[in-house]
Amino acid sequence: MRTLDYDQAHDVVQANRSLYWDGWDIVSWVRNPNGATNLNGKFRNGKWGIAKRFLMTVDGTWKVPNKYAS
């Protein structure tokens, strides 16, 4: 996991098509038809997928997997 400050988080979200902002949360969304019945399922852009949220920590940073912030 990599810890990102505000500017780094914006750069990472902008560089990754599977990431987007939802308020202060960074959300990873991957298309998956099983999202319709999954607890983390989310309907987005006319398709079902699985979403994972990366919440801002108490120190104002985000921890995201290395695959997004290499």
- Averages of pLDDT over runs of 10 residues in the chain (70 residues) are 96 96 97 97 96 97 92
> Residue written as tokens 């919440």?
55
In a domain, 69, yes or no: no
- Looking at residue 1, its pLDDT comes to 93
Domain that holds residue 60: 2-64
In a domain, 49, yes or no: yes
Entry pTM: 0.89
Which H or E run contains 43?
strand 41-44
Tens digit of pLDDT for each residue in 42-57? 999 999 999 999 999 9
In a domain, 70, yes or no: no
Report how many domains make up the chain: 1
In a domain, 21, yes or no: yes
